[in-house]
Amino acid sequence: MHDTHTQPGWHPRVTALVPCHNAAAFISRTLDSLASQTWPNLEILIGEDRSTDATPQIVAKFAAGHRNVRVLNRQHNLGWLRNTNDLMASAEGELMFFAFHDDVVDPTYVETLVRALQDNPSAVLAYSDVEVIEVNGDSATSTFDRLSGLHSSLSRGLVMAQQPHGWWVPNRGLFRAWAFHRSGGIKPNSQGEYCADWTWLLHLSLLGAFVRVPQVLCHKYYRPGSISKAWTHHRSQRRALRAAGLREIWHSSLPWAQRAILLTAMMTRPWRLRKRRR
């Protein structure tokens, strides 16, 4: 049992994890949204991944103007997955969230999601709906409510194992730091980083409930060249994701009987890729 400290006076340290590489065109918007948060106990932890544009200068200027910012300047390019895992390992917060450098969060984002976790001490993650803004300016709201009301790890795992529509939305949420240590972080598969956050969320769903806050607090901006727009979808990726999902279940802390049910469900169901967004 984990001590979640959800008493009325709970004021946890929260860390915003900002992995960035060649983000000069848009990272200032993301950083400004973090600086505008109403939650006072916030650490902003930036992993500057050997950018070749003006990102290091923008990040350094931002850090100089804000006392709650730490910058980890990488000695060599790590890629988003290793960069993000190292940020989680280096964070001081009891709670964390990914502040991807093309996302913007509302000023009350952290405060609202902290209260959602306070009201749900068994939950591992709280998240909001997400506005998705396409390159051409079109926008739509993405929601995910398939886990609402599910109180067992097995029931949540059976849903997430299907990679259901909108599975990626909770990755814009606030999660407990112990989940990183329990899950082992975000792991690559045989296709590299592709959809690695799906297996991460699958494992987190086995650790605790996901709480949806039904309002838009996060805005995801697509840009020309966005990774998730450029990726193709083919059979080798389906095989890689299935194998990665099986490994997450196998290495989880679920009782063997429940792991067997999940492993069988994943092995026997028809497998199709659902696009993810990072």
Residue 269's pLDDT is 76
Tokens representing 170 are 């909770």
pLDDT beneath 70, residues of the chain:
1-8, 225-233, 271-278
Residue 1's pLDDT is 36
Residue 233's pLDDT is 61
Selection from 148, 105, 103, 131 nearest residue 14 by Cα: 105
Selection from 190, 61, 39 nearest residue 108 by Cα: 39
Residue 88's pLDDT is 98
Residue 202's pLDDT is 97
Residue 30 CB coordination number (10 Å)? 21
Residue 194's pLDDT is 82
Residue 3's pLDDT is 43
Residue 92 CB coordination number (10 Å)? 12
